[in-house]
Structure 1
């Protein structure tokens, strides 16, 4: 499941540089996560780094609109980071 930044976000800029998939950017009011790029850090870390660095509890949560299992997150990771190798 991709992650979602809620309205509790204080725009502290902690999460955006930590995302290994470049999935976080500033939105209309607060930071947003691109669900097409979010792998919950599968392939990089055990725990999503954005959740680890966020100073406000329960601000970055699972997105109920984007239910994905671990296999789907791994597939997304491979496509984001190894798609040029797969094309060879």
Structure 2
């Protein structure tokens, strides 16, 4: 289901970038920034949207493998995107990595 949802979000983003950002980040600062960038020009809105989607899906895949990012992605304000849609962390402490 992960690949199908990613393809659907990319198709939505091609038509209207803020809708794609809303799908991965929810309603927040990232959507507002993307709306402003889209109003300034269609291309900046796409670049921002695809960057957020890349960070979201990349961190989601790593979280499924048990790896968590030690630092925040620059320019991303949504905790949902920062954590890949998984467990939300507060502060700068990353969840411990379990090694088997």
- Give me the TM-score of the superposition, normalised by structure 1: 0.30
**Quick check: which one's strand share is greater?**
1
Q: Using CA pairs under 8 Å that are at least 6 residues apart, name the structure with larger relative contact order, 1 or 2.
A: 1
TM-score w.r.t. structure 2 length? Answer: 0.27
Larger radius of gyration: 2
